[in-house]
Amino acid sequence: MTKIILVAVVLLLLGGGAYLFLRKGSNQGTAPTTNQEGSGTSASFSNSKKAAHYESNTPEHGAILAGVPINVVINFNFDLANPSEIRISGTTSPSDVGSGDTVVDANKLSMRRAIRNDAPDGIYTVNYTACWADGSCHDGQFQFKIDRSLVTEFEDLTGKDEVTINLKNFAFNPTKVKVSKGTKVIWVNQDNIIHTVNTDSHPGHNYFPGQNSRDLSKGDTYSVTFDKEGIYPYHCTPHADTMKGQVLVE
């Protein structure tokens, strides 16, 4: 009986050791981020690097977008100063595809840079330098992908002067819409609970500041006329994790 117990203990110890060894081996190194968005669409992204005082960015790291972002916005919890800078380069277009200079917002907590609307499909790397009033600077990096084939997932509402999106059952209906430049998009809350229409990111809400509603009760409406081509990701602030939408302007 004693021998049987001893053998059982040895086998248990050996099994536990093998489990720990295999687990340790599987955790070595950090795999690149893989994001999937849409039917059969995926991409591998390198790990992001966050500078000191970083809060959020739009597009978010690993985002796969059906159109060109109107700009890159990076938020911090500390006042920015010159020479803060954003550089945007792609695998299919190695040169910087940013348009114009990097701009520090009036509140000094965000910096942004526009993107050329003709930027081709591919993975883009955003390298940024965030500087503070004391002269110190810190670097960061993230990536996103443009894949225009994803336009098939958007409801084509181009050619209309006005388009309505219903806020119903804790969702934007339709969730993804493609509209023409100059279209007025109207959101109508049909739920018995407060919703909002807020531009990404959360809680910065400054990718496209013109798309930030008040609290919308049942029956309330909110509208925005989109005059610039590009993609506009947005969300409902009270339900930011699950209630998301996109407007693609062509």
Distance CA 140, CA 86 (A): 10
137 is in an annotated binding site: no
- What pLDDT is recorded for position 196? 98
State the CB neighbour count (10 A cutoff) for residue 47: 12
Is the peptide bond preceding residue 174 cis, with omega within 30 degrees of 0? yes
Which band of pLDDT confidence, cut at 50, 70 and 90, is reported for residue 12? very low
DSSP string, 123-184: EEEEEEEEE-TTS-EEEEEEEEEE-GGGGGGSEE-TT-SEEEEEE-SSSEESSEEEE-TTPE
- What pLDDT is recorded for position 162? 98
Q: Which residue shows structure tokens 């021998």? A: 3
β-pairing verdict for 54-58 and 110-115 = unpaired
Q: Are 73 and 209 in contact (CB under 8 A)?
A: no
- What pLDDT is recorded for position 55? 97
Tokens of 118: 């003709």
Over 60: is that where the pLDDT of 10 sits? no
CATH architecture of 154-249: Sandwich (2.60)
236 is in an annotated binding site: yes
- What pLDDT is recorded for position 20? 36
Q: What is the pLDDT of residues 111-125, one digit of tens each?
A: 999 999 999 999 999
Among the ranges given (43-57, 85-99, 187-201), the one the predictor scored with the smallest mean pLDDT: 85-99
Among the ranges given (9-13, 71-75, 149-153, 246-250), the one the predictor scored with the smallest mean pLDDT: 9-13
Strand partners, 199: 234
Phi, psi of 16 (to 5 degrees): -65, -40
Q: Which amino acid is at 196?
A: T
**Every domain of the chain and the residues it spans:** 34-149, 154-249
Over 90: is that where the pLDDT of 37 sits? no
- With CA atoms as reference, report the closest residue to 245 among 152, 175, 154: 175
Kindly state the DSSP code that residue 105 receives in the 8-state scheme: -
Tokens of 190: 């049909």
239 is in an annotated binding site: yes
Distance CA 40, CA 53 (A): 36
Among the ranges given (11-25, 72-86, 158-172), the one the predictor scored with the smallest mean pLDDT: 11-25
Q: Which amino acid is at 92?
A: T
- What pLDDT is recorded for position 43? 80
- What pLDDT is recorded for position 35? 55
Distance CA 234, CA 199 (A): 4
Kindly state the DSSP code that residue 32 receives in the 8-state scheme: P
Percent of the chain residues past pLDDT 70, beyond the cut: 83
Among the ranges given (65-74, 90-99, 113-122, 155-164), the one the predictor scored with the smallest mean pLDDT: 90-99
- What pLDDT is recorded for position 128? 98
Query: What would the mean pLDDT of 60-66 be, rounded to a whole number?
Result: 98
In 3-state terms, what secondary structure has residue 83?
strand
131 is in an annotated binding site: no
CATH 2.60.40.1220 fits 34-149, yes or no: yes
Which band of pLDDT confidence, cut at 50, 70 and 90, is reported for residue 36? very low
pTM here is: 0.83
